[in-house]
Amino acid sequence: MSLTVVGSIAYDAVTTPFGERERMLGGAATHFALAASFFDEVRVIGPVGDDFDAASWEALQTRGTITDDVERVEGGKTFFWKGEYHDNLNSRETHVTELNVFEQFAPKLSDEAKACDVLFLANILPDLQREVRGQCADARFVAMDSMDLWINIERDSLIETIAGVDCLILNDEELELLTEAPNFVAAANEILQWGPSSVIAKQGKYGAALFTADGYFALPAFPLSSVIDPTGAGDSFAGGFVGYVAAHPDEAISHDLLVRAMVYGTALASFNVEAFGTERVIELTSDEITERVDHLQKMTTFSHTPISLRS
C-alpha cells in the first residue's frame, strides 16, 4: 500500500476575525499529507522554492511522509497565497496569489511515486492532474479536487480529467457550477455519468455527502463553537478520506468503505479548523481522532421504532 498526492506546497498569509498569520506553511498537498499520514505512508509531489525552510521540510515529513519527489527549484520562490475571511468565515477574499515555482511546474514522478496504490490529485491545473494520473496507471483508487477557477477557465480539460478518476471531491456550489444543475444532488448524480464511481459534495460547516451507484451517505460536520481558520479544511478532509481508503488495500472499493472513509475525513477536517493552518493537525494524536469519530457516531445515531401515524 502506498499513497501519492500531487498538489501545492505553499506559504500562506491568512487573516480571520480571530487572528492572523503573516507566513505559515500551507498548500493543499501539505494539509492532505498531514491528515493522510495517520493512515498510510504518503509521498508528496510538488515544487518548492529555495526559501522553503528546514522547519517546513520537517513539518511536511510528519509521520514519515516522503518528500523525495518534492522538487526544490533553485532560485525559485515557494507558492504564496494571502487571503482574508469575512462575515463569520462565510466568505473568503484572495489578496495575493503568487504562483512562483508553480508557473513552470511539470510533474516528474519517481518510480515509487508512479507505483502508488492510491492517488490524490489536489487542486491544480486540470492538465497537470491528468498528466500525473496518466503516470500512475496502476492506482486502484484515484480521487481529485478542483476549484471554481478551473471550472470557469479550463472546463473542457477539467471534465476530461474528471472522466479519468474514481472519485471527485468538490464543494457543493462548485458541483452546481460545473454541471449547471439546480442543486448538488442533481449535480452529483450527473457527474456519476461522466466517469467517476463516487462523488463527494463538501458542504463546509454543514458536513459532506457521498454519492455512489450503490447509495447516498451524508454526515454533518462536527459541531465546533470556535472555528479559527478554515484554510485547508477540504484538503484535510480529503487526507482523512483518501488515507482511510489507502489503509485498506485488501478491501474492494465499495460504498461501505467510502462511507467509513467519509467519517475519518470529517474528523480530520474538524481538527484542521480549530487553529491556523497546520497548527492543530500537526500536534494531533490518533487517540483524539478515534474519540472524535466516536462522537460523530453518537451525534448521528437514532433509534427508529415505527409509530402508528394518523391518516
Closer CB to a second copy, residue 114 or residue 292? 292
- Site stretch for a second copy (CB under 8 A), options 120-128, 145-153, 161-169, 284-292: 284-292
**Cell, residue 56:** 517546513
**Cell, residue 248:** 485498506
- Site stretch for a second copy (CB under 8 A), options 69-77, 115-123, 158-166, 302-310: 302-310
CB of 4 to a second copy, least distance (A): 16
- Give the span between the Cα atoms of 240 and 36, in whole angstroms: 5
Closer CB to a second copy, residue 61 or residue 157? 61
CB of 70 to a second copy, least distance (A): 20
CA 114 to chain centre: 20
Containing 94, the helix (H) or strand (E) segment is strand 91-98
By CB under 8 A, tell whether 227 contacts a second copy: yes
Distances (CA, A) of 130 to 10, 83, 162, 248: 21, 28, 9, 25
CB of 294 to a second copy, least distance (A): 7
Residues contacting residue 68 through CB under 8 Å, at least 6 positions apart: 43, 110, 112
Residues contacting residue 278 through CB under 8 Å, at least 6 positions apart: 24, 25, 26, 30, 31, 34, 59, 232
- Site stretch for a second copy (CB under 8 A), options 115-123, 124-132, 148-156, 200-208: 200-208
- Give the span between the Cα atoms of 198 and 213, in whole angstroms: 7
State the amino acid at position 54 in one-letter form.
A
Helix, coil or strand: residue 131: helix
CB of 132 to a second copy, least distance (A): 24
By CB under 8 A, tell whether 298 contacts a second copy: yes
* String marking each residue 65-84 x if it binds a second copy according to CB under 8 A: --------------------
CB of 165 to a second copy, least distance (A): 22
Site residues for a second copy per CB under 8 A: 17, 37-40, 63-64, 88-89, 176, 182-183, 185-186, 189, 203, 205-207, 209, 215-221, 223-227, 244, 247, 256, 259-260, 262-263, 285-286, 289-290, 293-294, 297-307, 309-311
